[in-house]
Amino acid sequence: MSNELSLTSGRANVMVYDDVNKKWVPAGTTNGFAKVHIYHHVVNNTYRVVGRKLQDQEVVINCAILKGLKYNQATPTFHQWRDNKRVYGLSFSSVDDANSFANTMLRAIDNL
Ligand SMILES: CCOC(=O)[C@@H]1C[C@@H](CC)[C@@H]2C=C[C@H]3CCN(C(=O)[C@@H]4CC[C@H]5C=C[C@]6(CCCN6C(=O)[C@H](Cc6ccccc6Cl)NC(C)=O)C(=O)N54)[C@@H]3C(=O)N12
């Protein structure tokens, strides 16, 4: 990640939606907070979301931010978006973290 800049990071419980059972499940092997970054690869002008569990650094999310992504701020601390495979949910530890992440996410999408 040396050629990628972290534009923001926040503390969130990273979830994915289990379409079969219609419920949110932890994105990693266990529930728990992760440090979730938005990285910018400046040369390629690409962006991605990468999150690692605070406890053991497990990578629980690593997904591209693609042009036209619809970022849904469902509640002040629960934000979500889809890719072609799954639905991601970030349950932030604070409204400030959520707002900072959302502002950077919306700027990234705008810049694609
Ligand atoms: C005590 C109850 O437990 C909870 O609080 C659970 C556990 C909480 C912590 C993890 C989490 C927190 C907050 C609330 C907030 C509401 N919410 C839901 O899930 C709602 C309710 C109904 C349910 C139905 C569908 C579902 C799931 C999959 C995606 N989706 C859509 O609607 C998408 C959204 C979207 C819109 C635009 C762009 C992108 C996308 Cl992704 N629409 C489409 C068109 O794709 C969704 O978000 N849904 C959360 C929730 O319940 N919980």
* Span 67-99, pLDDT tens digits: 999 999 999 999 999 999 999 999 999 999 999
24 lines ligand 1 (CB under 6 A): yes
Q: Whole-number mean pLDDT of the chain?
A: 97
Mean pLDDT (whole number) for 19-47: 97
Closest-CA residue to 101 (of 40, 32, 11): 11
88 lines ligand 1 (CB under 6 A): no
From CA 89, how far away is CA 81, in angstroms rounded? 7
Q: Is the dihedral of CA 53, 80, 85, 68 positive or negative?
A: negative
Asked if pLDDT for residue 1 goes beyond 80, the answer is no
Q: Is the ipTM of this complex over 0.85?
A: yes
Asked if pLDDT for residue 53 goes beyond 90, the answer is yes
16 lines ligand 1 (CB under 6 A): no
60 C-alpha vs ligand 1 centroid, how far in Å? 19
pTM score over 0.95: yes
2: pLDDT confidence band, cut at 50, 70 and 90? confident
Mean pLDDT (whole number) for 60-66: 97
